[in-house]
Structure 1
């Protein structure tokens, strides 16, 4: 699984925060709820409500609920039919309610069961209420299985029964059936007109948990795939102390100067005993003093790396590692292969290579630090934060003057919303490597994120100045212009932001993500979908592996009411994404769209087209 920093270096991080993206496409922004959308109106419905406990509906709730409380307050129908089967059932129900209020839940269940036994089948509204009341009692007894069963019976008789749907959603969540829970809570959101914050919070929670669960399942069987060349190029450019690239560049320089191909520094780095194998390769050990050959597999892998022909790197590294007796390039081949496993979402293989490398004795500190950075990043993308930060701390102890450690840890701290720590890390990276533009840009971005989180106009202005100072120093950096554009957009300076995006595209025309971000600007600025959609499709034509383009296009299709196409686009984005975090978010979008589609069909509510938010 690829460390996420590659995406951010090459694709302008993740761009606007998700709430800003939602705002741009007209989605309701409620506690991070992904993919659930406001309807202009909800068809009139009369779902009955259980009356085991009287809960006042939200003040803004639009949906009518049945007034079954009349049955407990002595309605004319109840008084006139005490001796009928229905009247007897209502009497049992009333007794159940009394027991419920007194906390006698077992007695309440017996009463509701008696009501169900005597009630005529044609009185579906009352039967539905009895089941729902019995579910409420089972809920008090903490028996989610029976809550779910009773709510299901109630919903069969009344598909718009809000309380039964909500109660079943809670029970399903407790039982681990997140899909059913999401479908039910989505239906409740719709029936409540998206006005009940507790329901929205539950939907948000279930979506996130379902997304994480689905992502973990999908990663087990995920097909390996090579990211876009722009992504890979930018990822490798984010390291200034990469021993693989350093050795290759040094050898190239020496070769051009007609010097011996193997330098003393290379021998020092590579002359390490007993590395051992990784993955499906046999164990290997390094033979001291082995001479280099111009046609070695590792050298060819480095040539492919420089040429941007990434598909052949892993096979070439595998050949180098499997040579017997092992070559002195074995460690670097293992590091490069582990890196490529990271970038192609093969996290298990990546961990095996990096672990094997880090367990080697007398490992040169440049190799060790680089491996720790990559393993630490991989841990964090797997949501193993403690292990990941421990690797970075270990790297600092080994080589506190290596700017790459602080740069990449700063990026990970951004992902973890540790913005103050991120800013400090980038400052350290800058002090150690003042000519590296990426750290300046990410520092400005972290300051921008902090300003947005704190809703501080003053800090946003400070971030703007930080971007401007960075671009004065590095005017040819495309990422800097693109991130500066996003900050300008936050201030409503849309013309200036668009000009910055245009500059970024001219400087880096192969970066499809910049087109997507410009499309988002157009959405927020012009409130017109056609031009942004055209830009996103242009991005896909430029790079059909641009996962971000499919994600945003899918989000737009949700806004337009085309859930079927939205699902297809989210599935395509999932196929392309490389990290568990990204995949979790995309699965949340996917299942939110599916849940809304199913809920609309079940409730008989047409999906909106080109609607405006409430």
Structure 2
């Protein structure tokens, strides 16, 4: 675990420098610009942590019912009111005089043969009477009788309201396929019929057709002018359900792979550099076809800090344990293989390796720390705390233990405890830069802005050639909307990255500068160029991919944005990351589908964004 300004989403707690803070800035951008709504290609959207959401949240009333659009046909307004009362199982306050029926005996006998002989006016009159009787039966929960009556009304006069009312009966009986049939028939008459869209969305949801359900409820929200809270919440719920279902399917067949070189490098450097164990140095002559030789090969590759070398290291550590005969290095080999299993998201395998490492060498405290990190990622903070306590019992003077335990406190929001552990880590080893950086970040989270800024100024004085200092200092300045100063720090970080790590440059300062220019000047062109440069250096960097997707989305380049959201899903390492990426992608894809299916909505909403309260 290493520096981060804010804890990341649940399930992504193997934190690395900058990743969480950048994800927070990307996915929580709407919280920093609370009322800001963009009109993108004719569709008003809000960008939130849940994805691209097509509504403006107004209140907590989950039981509210969608209001008809102002442009709904007037001829359906009274019928809509009555059907709404019926759908809510409320008693009608009064009934229409022209369509009142007191007993079933007064209803006309209608079938396919008899309806042919009726005049147009008779059909209309009979349909109204049958519909009223259907409403009464519905209110009395006699759904099969109501279905019969609405079906006869449809024979007299096919009408979207009658189909939609009959769909409500099938809904009450959980006959979801029939709900889809009737609402689809209603929408054939009027493809902007909100109630039919909502009911069909609900039926698709029950049928497990989440993408179709999302399309219908999204269209409903847009037609209704984003006024209904219940529909808005349905969008969120369906996005989450779709993404979780899709993520599980993908993870069942997705091959394990290492994340970006930026991610791997940042995770590895969160541990203090230590010399290799005696006998594994470069000048030690070891046969590569032995376990020890592969261990040496893997360590050398890992120290190269470039993507192909990380893959080579992972393979070498695997082969080392397969070949065996590692002797005193066996615990160390399990530690290293477990580290890369963790980075690949192979949680159970990583835990097994780290536990084996501890069993073989209880004094290897780094294995306790890494297992604590894994337990935290798997949602077991109590087990993580136990691992830290066990590590301290073995070596209370190990500064890495205090640093990573501080990260545990930080993620849990226990900033005072985190501050103490960061300081202890510094007292034991003042030369580890990330303890200082994270101390400054924690002071910032505690509201001690002056102390935090002073800590970063001391860092610059004591570690003037470390790019991470300037990068994280810039993030805090950006959080204070000190844009010019923040960009200056990011520029310094970028130059130092070039100087000190030309072959393994950390791209996070480039992405931070991109976001700063976007937030400050809405300079999309330069922001895009910086993201493109980051992706040239590290094509697997998920943060760069997600940032590019958001930049394109803000400009209304929805189809291009979708490609990047889909790429972000491919790069996701954990289930939590995958759910988030799929949510963004599906919301964007739904936006495109709505525009294609309802072309009139684009022109209808083209001026809407400017009229929304900000």
The residue number in structure 1 matching 2:502 is none
Q: Which residue of 1 aligns with 2:297?
A: 300
Q: Which sections of structure 1, spanning at least 5 residues, go unmatched?
A: 40-52, 263-292, 452-457
Match of 2:152 in 1: 117
Cα deviations by residue, 1:390-413 (Å, 9 ceiling, x for unpaired): 545554555554433343344455
Answer whether contact 1:135 1:148 (CA < 8 A) is retained.
no
Distance verdict in 2 for CA 1:8–1:247, change over 3 Å: closer
Give the Cα–Cα distance (whole angstroms) in 2 for the partners of residues 417 and 508 of structure 1: 31
Q: What corresponds to 2:16 in structure 1?
A: 8
| Distance change (3 Å), C-alpha of 1:32 and 1:313 | closer
Displacement of 1:149 in angstroms is: 5.9
Q: What residue number does 2:327 align with?
A: 327
Structure 1 residues 32, 542: CA separation in 2 closer, same or farther (over 3 Å shift)? closer
Written as runs of structure 1 = structure 2, the 5 A alignment for 1:303-382 is 303-308=300-305, 309-323=309-323, 325-358=325-358, 360=359, 363-366=361-364, 369-382=365-378
Q: Does 1:57 align with 2:57?
A: no
Pairwise CA distance, 1:114: 1.4
Give the match's secondary structure for 2:52: coil
**Of 494, 500, 515, the match for 1:505:** 494
Question: Does residue 1:186 correspond to 2:218, yes or no?
Answer: yes
Does 1:84 find its partner at 2:122?
yes
Q: Distance in 1 between matches of 2:65 and 2:607?
A: 35
Equivalent pair of 1:97/1:108 in contact (CA under 8 Å): no
What's the secondary structure of 1:35's corresponding residue?
strand
User: Alpha carbons of 1:83 and 1:432: their partners in 2 closer, same or farther (altered >3 Å)?
Assistant: farther
Q: What is the CA–CA distance in structure 1 between the aligned matches of 2:452 and 2:148, rounded to whole Å?
A: 65
| Pairs aligned (count) | 543
Shift of 1:215: 2.6
Structure 1 pair 130/440, CA: closer, same or farther in 2 (3 Å)? same
Q: 2:422 aligns with which of 412, 415, 426?
A: 426
For 1:477, the equivalent position in structure 2 comes to: 466
Is residue 185–residue 203 contact of structure 1 (8 Å, CA) maintained in 2? yes
Query: What does residue 248 of structure 1 align with?
Result: 276
CA contact (8 A) 1:132 1:154 kept: no
Distance (whole Å) between structure 2 residues aligned to residue 36 and residue 545 of structure 1 = 27
Quote the Cα distance in structure 1 between the aligned partners of 2:608 and 2:449: 32
Q: Distance in 2 between matches of 1:433 and 1:175?
A: 59
Q: CA deviation at 1:305?
A: 2.0
Structure 1 equivalent of residue 103 of structure 2: none
Deviation at 1:336, TM superposition (A): 0.9
User: Is the contact between residue 6 and residue 234 of structure 1 (CA under 8 Å) also seen in structure 2?
Assistant: no
How far did residue 538 of structure 1 move? Answer: 1.4
Task: For residue 591 of structure 1, report the CA deviation from its aligned partner.
Answer: 0.9
Partners of 1:175 and 1:389 in 2: CA distance: 43
Query: Do the aligned residues in 2 keep the contact of 1:178 with 1:210 (CA within 8 Å)?
Result: yes
d(CA) in 1 for partners of 2:204 and 2:383?
33
When residues 461 and 100 of structure 1 are mapped into structure 2, their CA distance, relative to the original with a 3 A threshold, is farther
TM-score by length of 2: 0.75
Report the RMSD for the aligned CA atoms in angstroms: 4.2
Distance in 1 between the 2:397 and 2:182 partners?
64
Structure 2 equivalent of residue 233 of structure 1 = 265
Gaps of 5+ in 2: 3-10, 39-44, 57-62, 83-93, 101-118, 499-504
Corresponding residue for 2:513? 518
Shift of 1:248: 0.8
